Structure 1
Amino acid sequence: MAATTSNEAKVSIKVIVDKVNKRVVYAEADYTFVDILFSLMTLPMGTIVRLLGKLDDKNFEALGSLNNLYQSLKDFPECYISSEESK
């Protein structure tokens, strides 16, 4: 029988949490993990939330805060924005 090996990637994260105030005080991670987080932040979240909002699937209701943020920006008065593209 052939030996099987696992090629799973592992991420090491060190976190210091203030349990009284329920906040993260310090976090340390490998640069590859930080790169992945930054790449996720560059995704067009408005487009994703808008497209997922059109689905009738209840599994996507977990995007509640993103959906609320998208709706508040969508309903933002135009007098405060220079152009529609800026929205």
Structure 2
Amino acid sequence: MPMSAKSNACRPWDDEQVERLKELISSGASAVRAAAALKRARSSVQVKARKLGMPFMASRDAKRLRDAKIAAAESVPLRTHAAAASSDR
């Protein structure tokens, strides 16, 4: 195993990272996304989240939420350039 992969092993969590993890979980981020943002292993962020009493959503629930957000965003009509120009007058 390369040294860079082991550099986070047993590295303690600081308060800033814990707060960032809480924010990521609250915003609906996946464990993989949180791990990338915090530069930690997925298993590490999952364990920390469980210890904080804030486990990540199950994959299928997260996908369902993501799909609902996308559908809601797609249902909002986009303003065209012509419509924007005529409403500015």
TM-score (norm 2): 0.29
TM-score (norm 1): 0.30
| Relative contact order, higher structure (CA 8 A, sep 6+) | 2
Return the structure number with greater helix share: 2
